[in-house]
Structure 1
């Protein structure tokens, strides 16, 4: 059976043109995708207990107070959450969400080629990747280091020497996960990659997303 995947793509701030292609890629990968941009529909879909919730380049405040309560309850009883790219630009006013992701977006330089340093290959989202992965993206900087939370496991870093405009000082987490994601037993995965439509036709990036979702669903 395919992984039941609730994909939320609502944007209240910047909207990525890559969202339709990203949703199409998840469907092409064989996931049972229910996509929503309506807060009330998102709440109803959570009641159906999907295996994974994906915030796919969401931005701004995308949930109602009731939606926040339901998402927190979902994760706190063991649900899987995957944040992709601008998911870190979401729900700045909700402390629980910031704690779930363990870092929030700050800024990014121009979209440009760069290099990802994969340091942990013992995860389904990175096991297929080279140690040095050439990629093109926005290379997000974050307001804090996610490793300040001891439950965070960093899988990959941005090589700041490979592009212009980095500000995090060389040690730059880019992909990470948490198992569990306190205060409950849920799993959280975040990747800062995925700005452009072209990323979602890249086999390596597709496998990155597929590994993340299968892991969050405990299907690996």
Structure 2
């Protein structure tokens, strides 16, 4: 039987390499088995970031990528892919990737600024009517490295999850960059239509154990499904 769609999992790092990446790759492979979609994983940009290989995938997942990971030719091919209707999924430190590339920064929507130590905090559902959001209660506990972001770089971001800053200590000093939180609306996951393609991001996924959490995995699948197919979901 034919697969529903195929995704590229790309986890190249030019900076910090998260120990959770192998767990993330394995989790996405299992999601593919569960939901009948193909998964191809690589950290070799030269192998896949071109006009021949990218069209084989309906979505590209940047799984905890960091730093500068694409050359100019690869960037141009990735832009063409998105503009031709491709899907993008950013997981966790995808927000700390290609921070000198304005187009990518707009595609992702917001970029990493700082984070405090890992803490348990309360997540709040901002939008239920999106794939993968239906298993979350309105408020629930989650343990994460809570990213603080810079300003929105796109006016079309639709927020799915926020973290309640009253439930953890958001203060930090990250290499001279001080974080004090983002206030009542501290986004953690969002999506947007972008230049003909689709972009979904979740800041969750720092800890290896997160990839054993069925709620998170359903959330991640929902983002992959939407990015790959463009199909929505109504929980109400």
* Fold similarity call, TM over 0.5: yes
Ranges in structure 1 where 5+ consecutive residues have no aligned partner: none
For residue 70 of structure 1, the aligned residue among 71, 77, 84 is 77
Residue 20 of structure 1: aligned partner: 22
Cα RMSD between the aligned structures?
Answer: 1.4
Distance in 1 (CA, whole Å) between partners of 2:213 and 2:55 is 31
Residue 62 of structure 2: aligned partner: 55
Q: Please tell me whether the aligned partners of residues 98 and 104 of structure 2 are also in contact (alpha carbons under 8 angstroms).
A: yes
Residue 162 of structure 1: aligned partner: 167
Distance in 1 (CA, whole Å) between partners of 2:84 and 2:97 is 22
Partner SS, residue 204 of structure 1? helix
Q: Please tell me whether the aligned partners of residues 46 and 74 of structure 1 are also in contact (alpha carbons under 8 angstroms).
A: no
Number of residue equivalences: 215
Distance in 2 (CA, whole Å) between partners of 1:33 and 1:142 is 30
For residue 40 of structure 2, the aligned residue among 34, 43, 47 is 34
Matched, 1:114 2:116: no
The CA deviation string for residues 89-123 of structure 1, in whole angstroms up to 9 with x for no partner, is 00011110011111100000101111111010000
Q: Please tell me whether the aligned partners of residues 69 and 98 of structure 2 are also in contact (alpha carbons under 8 angstroms).
A: yes
1:173: how far off?
Answer: 1.0
Residue 153 of structure 1: aligned partner: 158
Distance in 2 (CA, whole Å) between partners of 1:106 and 1:203 is 28
1:219: how far off?
Answer: 6.1
Q: Please tell me whether the aligned partners of residues 46 and 70 of structure 1 are also in contact (alpha carbons under 8 angstroms).
A: no
Q: Give the TM-score, by structure 2 length.
A: 0.87
The CA deviation string for residues 54-113 of structure 1, in whole angstroms up to 9 with x for no partner, is 000000001111111011111111100000000000001111001111110000010111
- Map 1:175-186; keep pairs closer than 5 Å: 175-178=189-192, 180-181=193-194, 184-186=195-197
Residue 5 of structure 2: aligned partner: 3
Residue 171 of structure 1: aligned partner: 185
1:47: how far off?
Answer: 3.6
Residue 143 of structure 2: aligned partner: 136
Q: Give the TM-score, by structure 1 length.
A: 0.93
